[in-house]
Amino acid sequence: MSSSSSPENGNDPETARRDRILSTKLYFDVPSSKVPVIYSSSYDISFLGIEKLHPFDSKKWRRVCQFLVAAGVLRKDQIVEPLEAKKNDLLVVHPQSYLDSLKNSLNVAKIIEVPPVAVFPHCIVKNKVQRPFRNQVGGTILAAKLAKERGWAINVGGGFHHCSAELGGGFCVYADISLCIHYAFVQLNISRVMIIDLDAHQGNGHEMDFAHDRRVYILDMFNPGIYPFDYEARRCIDQKVEVDSGTKTSEYLKKLEEALEIAATSYDPDLIVYNAGTDILDGDPLGLLKISAGGIAMRDEKVFKFARTRNIPIVMLTSGGYMKSSAKVIADSIENLSKQSLIDTGSSPG
């Protein structure tokens, strides 16, 4: 992986990276009255209606929490609010040159695939687009700490798996998965991480970042017939499972079970980062798969059981999902995890 931390005060890049990680404010103690479900109203994107030009539901994260509270899965005051990732936090993975490139509104517009953003001044784009993403990055990084302490954590946002250290794309501005893992290596005494990426799209960002890092095992189950067509990154996947357009629930779950069995005998991680995109949902205009809402709940249940039976802390990120119905599907799946006692939210959903 490209080094992102420039030497400071004569320090080598790895020492500078470690110093940044150890000085972060993104890790903080969370009272036991809170549950490891992470969300902030700052996640949501509102930009004069322009956000509607992208198929992504930019209020999805808020709606997930509203559904969870309405269902009695948790109370609003139990949700953990993260801090925004600042420049020093982002430099742990991203080089200064990449962060500088985000000061150009045209570059940001290309990454989030909303061309009109290019005409706005950087100060507006920074506040309306980049800040929500940086808050979600803070949530992903904190989630690893909470998972280590509680056994599990769910960041209701995050999962920007198309962004690598030096290149954003596909609505992914910052490499939150790579950042989360590097923080865990230094702060949590973790040395082996498994990424289980079940978003419909290939997770080419983290794959490029950890291409030659044997501390990270990547299981990526994706539709090869859709974006990003990153064949170089595909060579970096430890276990590649391709699911073609039109794949239905039963076939999908069978392939997942087989993949998890292989992963269990291939790698023994200290932490699982689970990228749980709902763009596999039947009808999603970008994922092109045909997985039912119940199938997504079963998928998530299988991954959490995989972690629980092996006593491995798990971080779940919501990632992609391009229909208005995605928020309810995510909330229903989290409610199912609670009913199955795979997570403990301290409440009793009906």
The residues that are catalytic are 162
Q: 97 CB contacts (<8 Å, ≥6 apart)? A: 166
Q: Which two tokens stand for residue 186?
A: 């230094």
- Short-list 329, 215, 350, 231, CA closest to 281: 329
- Short-list 232, 230, 191, 196, CA closest to 213: 191
Q: 231 CB contacts (<8 Å, ≥6 apart)? A: none
Rounded CA gap, 252 and 303, in Å? 13
Let me know: does 275 contact 195? Beta carbons within 8 Å.
Answer: yes
Q: What's the N-to-C CA distance of the chain in angstroms?
A: 47
DSSP-based three-state secondary structure for 109: helix
Question: H helices of 95-248, where?
Answer: 96-101, 105-112, 122-125, 131-150, 176-187, 204-209, 231-234
**What is the radius of gyration, based on Cα positions, of the chain?**
19
- Short-list 83, 190, 92, 100, CA closest to 137: 83
Let me know: does 155 contact 139? Beta carbons within 8 Å.
Answer: yes
Residue found under tokens 């994107």: 45
